[in-house]
């Protein structure tokens, strides 16, 4: 099992998104190398973190009326659906999902999230201290 690492090329140049993505990636990798005995507890916690991160991204997309919002949301929904499905299933399926998740995440960052970050920067959107997004 090859362990993937966060590299600067994965950063999008949008501090709020980069910080959230890096934390999620590290949590994915923690679960990736964890023993099967930790999957039953760790996978639901990871799903909760993904749901929060996806919700924040979707709030940003709505605030900006970002292009490709529907497709971006669909990708979020598909991965969450798959994770919730394996969460309640066999440990082998959960392990397989955890093994595939970092690769999906890297692709999602490089495509959908890179586009979102570029649009957010061009729009001047930044996360406020108390949550939510505003044009600066």
* CATH code, 18: 1.20.120.50
| pLDDT, tens digit (0-9, with 9 covering 90-100), for 47-101 | 999 999 999 999 989 989 999 999 999 999 999 999 999 977 788 888 999 999 9
Residue 85 lies in domain: 13-124
Distance CA 19, CA 53 (A): 11
Let me know if residue 135 belongs to a domain.
Answer: no
- Model-wide pTM > 0.85: no
Dihedral of the alpha carbons of 37, 41, 44, 45, in degrees to the nearest 10 = -120
| pLDDT, tens digit (0-9, with 9 covering 90-100), for 100-124 | 999 999 999 999 999 999 988 888 7
Let me know if residue 4 belongs to a domain.
Answer: no
In the chain, the number of structural domains is 1
Let me know if residue 108 belongs to a domain.
Answer: yes
CA distances from 115 to 68, 69, 83, 122 (A): 9, 11, 24, 11
Let me know if residue 102 belongs to a domain.
Answer: yes
Let me know if residue 50 belongs to a domain.
Answer: yes
Let me know if residue 134 belongs to a domain.
Answer: no
């Amino acid at each position: 099992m090859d362990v993937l690492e966060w590299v600067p090329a994965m950063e999008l140049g949008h501090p709020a998104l980069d910080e959230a993505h890096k934390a999620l990636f590290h949590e994915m990798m923690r679960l990736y190398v964890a023993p099967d005995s930790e999957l039953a507890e760790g996978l639901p916690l990871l799903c909760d973190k993904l749901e929060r991160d996806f919700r924040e991204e979707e709030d940003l997309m709505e605030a900006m009326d970002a292009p490709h919002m529907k497709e971006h949301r669909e990708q979020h929904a598909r991965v969450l659906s798959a994770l919730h499905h394996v969460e309640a299933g066999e440990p082998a399926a959960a392990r397989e999902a955890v093994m595939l998740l970092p690769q999906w995440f890297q692709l999602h960052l490089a495509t959908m999230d890179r586009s979102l970050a570029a649009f957010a920067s061009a729009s001047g959107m930044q996360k406020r201290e108390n949550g939510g997004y505003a044009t600066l």
